Structure 1
Amino acid sequence: MNSNPTPDRFSRNRSILALLLVVPLSSIGAISSTVVALGAIGQAIALGCGIGMLILPIGWQLVIDRQPLKWRWSQRDGLLAGTILGGMMFGLILASYWFAGRYWLDIADIRARVSQMGMNVPLMVFGFGTFQTLINSFIEEYGWRWFVYRHCQIIWSKTWAVWISAGLFTLHHIILLAAYCDDWRLVAVGAVAVFIAGGLWARCMQIYQSLLPSYISHLAADLALQMVSWHILLG
């Protein structure tokens, strides 16, 4: 049962509109960069969608909600929770790849697909990986947990908001997983992992009311994923 005061219909409709504007951006960027326009054009569209994920929530907060932007530091228990969760995700991702993923994945095929997208240059691989780890992980936490989860909470109960926001967060990851892997079983496993991670990060936001715990753990998870990517693409 939702302990929050029941929002009025206008607030719910406004939050639905907010989700309709922001949620599709990541999927549009993923489809553009992996299916519609491989190479620089697709990457430019994806970058534009990423910028939209950053700007639209800020604009909504200032113009529609008419509330100032605030940075909320987490208490020590939140930072500890984020660090422990991040360490567990880091270890699980690397162990899953080393003991299973490197045998199941068609590494030659992945390298060929990345080459088609023009993303196989070592400097680009490291540069993109660094951006994904340090910057994109924060943008995703800001967009999906601070904005999308918050509006899901207005529409649904707190519990449903956690898992619905996690499901929405998983959509564009399914597109990316399918673009690099033809095995639907691996796509399904990856999608479930992303869904669980998204739910845990939303739960962190719910408990600690700060982006830092989820950002710390997301950064650790992305660092592990980039290490896997470097091993796949560069040997």
Structure 2
Amino acid sequence: MPDQEDSPVNVTRGPGTTPARWTMLALALSFPTLITWLYFDVLAGSAAMQPAYLVGKTVQFLLPVIWVVFVARDGWQLRRPSTSGAGLGLAFGAAVCLAGGAVYFLAMRHFAYFDVATEVLRGKLDGAGITTPLRYVLLATFYSLFHSALEEYYWRWFVLGRLMHTWRLWPAAVVSSLGFMAHHVLLLESFFTGRPELWLPLSLAIAVGGVFWAWLYRRSDSLVGPWLSHLVIDAGIMVIGYDLLFVRG
């Protein structure tokens, strides 16, 4: 297991635990949930929804850069990405997709509560201008390829890595993965309002996935495996979304 927070960018360990570091970590853990609540709930359907999303995501993904370069002033060293862990990551992602797809398409696709979830999803996407299959596919491609990579950089490389300045792997993995799960809870609860038997297990599954990706990242010393795994799972979710919106009706 590597001692440093290595992946596409190598960051050397900075000074010990400080109040500023814990403040930053509290912000990093909670900010994605705050911006999700803002754009997905408070501003949903309004003209401010897309600007809030863009500004919020920009701030979120710039936070690691701002902290490392301008606050902690750690040393940065660019390096070539390693494919170590890619096979295991792809296998995990494929297994999750196959299991989730089988449950949805073979057992749950025609359940009535998906009617409500579909209308909620359609309303959110309509508010963002995603009204055609082509636009949905473009959105799905962006999320699967690029947003998944940004989330791995944020949650595994930055949040997990910074927590491991003080904690061992498993406590850091659990805490970072609960933060990763939190904003998904808002999304899932909005689709399955009043159905905790649906959104709660799905939320916990996301946390478990986050712990696995944290372990894989530290084991492989690379973000490539977690990213590919995340990519495959996001693509599978987008396939189900396409079915709900444009096939199932």
Structure 1 counterpart of 2:183: 172
Instruction: Using the TM superposition, give the Cα deviation of residue 14 of structure 1 relative to its aligned residue in structure 2, in angstroms.
Output: 3.7
- The 5 Å alignment of 1:223-234 reads 223-234=235-246
Distance 1:58 1:9, change over 3 A: closer
CA contact (8 A) 1:61 1:69 kept: no
Q: Shift of the alpha carbon at 1:149? A: 0.6
What SS is found at the alignment partner of 1:178?
A: helix
* Residue from 46, 58, 62 that aligns with 1:55: 62
1:210-235 deviations in Å (ceiling 9; x for gaps)? 11010010000000000000001111
CA change 1:69–1:13 in 2 (3 A) is: farther
* C-alpha spacing 1:105/1:23, structure 2 compared with 1 (3 Å): farther
Aligned residues: 230
Q: Which amino acid aligns with 1:26?
A: P
Check if 1:80 corresponds to 2:87. Answer: yes
SS state at 1:156 partner: coil
Greater share of helix = 1
1:180 CA drift (Å): 1.2
Larger deviation, residues 222-231 vs 46-55: 46-55
What's the C-alpha RMSD, in Å, of the aligned pairs?
2.3
| 1:61-99 superposed Cα distances (whole Å, 9 cap, x missing partner) | 2122322253452254x1222222222122122122213
- Matched residue, 1:221: 233
Residue in 2 aligned with 1:32?
38
Work out the percentage of aligned pairs sharing the same amino acid: 23
CA contact (8 A) 1:32 1:45 kept: yes
Q: Are residues 80 and 8 of structure 1, via their aligned partners in 2, closer, same or farther at CA, if it must alter by over 3 Å?
A: closer
Q: Deviations over 1:118-148 (max 9, x none)?
A: 2551233222211111111011101000101
How far apart are the structure 1 equivalents of 2:39 and 2:157?
Answer: 25
Aligned to 2:29: 23
Q: Which amino acid aligns with 2:213?
A: W
SS, match of residue 155 in structure 1: coil
The range that moved more, 25-34 or 223-232, is 25-34
1:62-141 to 2 correspondence within 5 Å?
62-66=69-73, 67-76=75-84, 78-104=85-111, 106-117=113-124, 118=126, 119=128, 121-122=131-132, 123-141=134-152
Q: 1:203 aligns with which of 193, 215, 228?
A: 215
**Structure 1 range deviating more: 15-24 or 194-203:** 15-24
Gaps in structure 1 of 5+ consecutive residues:
none
- 1:195-215: per-residue Cα shift (whole Å, max 9, x none)? 111110111111112110100
| Farther off after superposition, 105-114 or 147-156 | 105-114
Gapped regions of structure 2 (runs ≥ 5): 5-12
Q: Is the 8 A contact 1:134 1:219 kept in 2?
A: yes
User: Would the alpha carbon gap of residues 9 and 200 (structure 1) be closer, same or farther in structure 2, given more than 3 Å must change?
Assistant: same
TM-score by length of 2: 0.83
The 10-residue stretch of structure 1 (92-101 or 145-154) with the greater mean CA deviation from structure 2: 92-101
Which one-letter code corresponds to 2:232 in the other structure?
A: A
2:82–2:224 Cα contact (<8 Å) kept: yes
Q: Conserved in 2, the CA contact under 8 Å of 1:113 and 1:180? A: yes
Could you tell me how far 1:163 is from its partner in structure 2? 1.1
Return the alpha-carbon distance in structure 2 between the equivalents of residues 115 and 9 of structure 1: 48
- Which piece of structure 1 moves more, 188-197 or 147-156? 147-156
